[in-house]
Amino acid sequence: MIHFPNDFLWGTATSSYQIEGGAEADGKGLSIWDEFSHTPGKTAKGQTGDIACDHYHLYKQDVALMAKMGVKAYRFSISWPRVQPDGEGAMNMAGMKFYSDLVDELLANGIEPWVTLYHWDLPLALHQKFDGWLSKKVVDCFGKYASYCFEHLGDRVKNWITLNEPWVVSILGYGQGAMAPGYISQDKPYIAGHHQLLSHAKAVEIYRSKYQSTQQGQIGISNNCDWREPKTGAPKDLEAAQRSLEFFLGWFADPIWLGDYPDVMKKRLGDRLPSFSEEEKKSLLGSSDFFGLNHYTTLFASDVNEREEMESNVHGNGGLFEDQYVKLTADPNWKLTSMKWAIVPWGCKKLLLWIKDRYDNPEVFITENGCSSDDQVIDGKVDDPHRIEFFQGYLSECHKAIQEGSNLSGYFIWSFLDNFEWALGYEKRFGITHVDFDSLERTPKSSAKWFEKVIEENGF
């Protein structure tokens, strides 16, 4: 039997737009996701997060469910336009009260809140006024919003995550158009990414200078990365895999842990990659108290020379292919989740060890890992052995990584509830709790019981 360190943190995660609903409740402003999901053709079956899991109204019962499962920590995000409707003007106290009440409810149930400030629902007004993340103006706006959250919640919230997955925001939102705000562009991702990094640094600077000494919390960022396994032992493929990881995780982690963008990105992108001033580099370096990691899958990476060859072989989720020249493929024997993401537990361990080596062994929290599957409700129960197998596989690799020196301190399951899976709508079920979206009833799946057991066996 596997035992994790005694103080290992077990949690589960969600995000505001995916579960809250209450799209215009109590003075909430609109976000780019409200607009995107209401634009015909952007989401599966035109589904939106208008109601979602109605967590905005049902949060007490959700916290009770988490407590019953034995969850020790809960990661959720604040909807920026709920607390500041136009992103730069007056605050909405009613919106902030919702989060304050949620935090109180969690603490009363012995659950530690982990709060993400930005999980993709930018105030629509900032997008309309100055193109959101494409303008440097967003940096000060984000700083003010963050400060407001620290001020109102920081007496009780001790774990802050500035941004969730700036890579996804940049590539899928500003490059491939699959997510809000839906831009298709070669250059915009790097600009959006740059301003997200500066916004992260700004929020951290404010937290550290004004709040951290009295509130005694920690603040960091959550980046996402798949593992890239060299397809063969050929030097070209080894380089391709490394290049792919630097374009993926290095893009956002290098400026924070090493002080600037990876050289390979600077060389390949030239002027298309914005640069940091010396002062900005200083504000970024060391600006995360921990390494938040969202990890789901693995692909093989190999080198390509010819553009045509690359385009005909592109296999999903690679970022801007023409900048990297890396061909991504899957092993046909790998099992897939219902989102067609390959289940490759050993990739998780390899990624943790890559982070350990590249970034001088930071403290890591896996802030998301999980799998989607076509769960069925039979007699009011959901049996999901494949999800249990997924968690067993990934957790045992996490354990091995710890034994090999990774400073992994916690693990959050994505997701607590089945929810609005962005452009894919409600059909892709990630939750350890099944939600029936017609009645909004919750049914914990068998993996929730299994997770409860893991927590128990580890002595908590």
Contact 352, 388 (CB under 8 A): no
Q: Is 165 a catalytic residue?
A: yes
Give the residues lining the site for ligand GAL (CB under 6 A): 15, 18, 164-165, 168, 224, 294, 368, 414, 421-422, 430
- Summary count for the chain: helices (H), strands (E): 20, 15
Smallest distance from the beta carbon of 367 to ligand GAL, in angstroms? 9
Which of 341/450 has CB closer to ligand GAL?
341
C-alpha dihedral sign at 412, 196, 359, 285 = negative
Contact 95, 82 (CB under 8 A): yes
Closest CA to 113 of 69, 63, 178, 177: 63
Smallest distance from the beta carbon of 368 to ligand GAL, in angstroms? 6
Q: Which residue among the candidates 88, 105, 280, 368 is catalytic per the annotation? A: 368
CA distances from 339 to 112, 336, 342, 369, 421 (A): 30, 7, 9, 14, 10
Which of 225/264 has CB closer to ligand GAL?
225
Q: What is the DSSP letter of 445?
A: B
Q: Is 279 a catalytic residue?
A: no
Which of 36/430 has CB closer to ligand GAL?
430
Which of 227/276 has CB closer to ligand GAL?
227
Smallest distance from the beta carbon of 454 to ligand GAL, in angstroms? 21
Smallest distance from the beta carbon of 277 to ligand GAL, in angstroms? 30
Q: Which residue among the candidates 165, 280, 397, 421 is catalytic per the annotation? A: 165
Give the HSE-up count for residue 178: Cα atoms under 13 Å, Cβ half-sphere: 15
Which of 394/430 has CB closer to ligand GAL?
430
Smallest distance from the beta carbon of 101 to ligand GAL, in angstroms? 23
Rounded distance, CA 35 to CA 173, Å?
A: 13
For every residue of 92-120, DSSP letters joined together read -HHHHHHHHHHHHHHHHTT-EEEEEEESS
For the record, the structure tokens of 276 come out as: 């940091």
Residues annotated as catalytic (active site), given as ranges? 165, 368
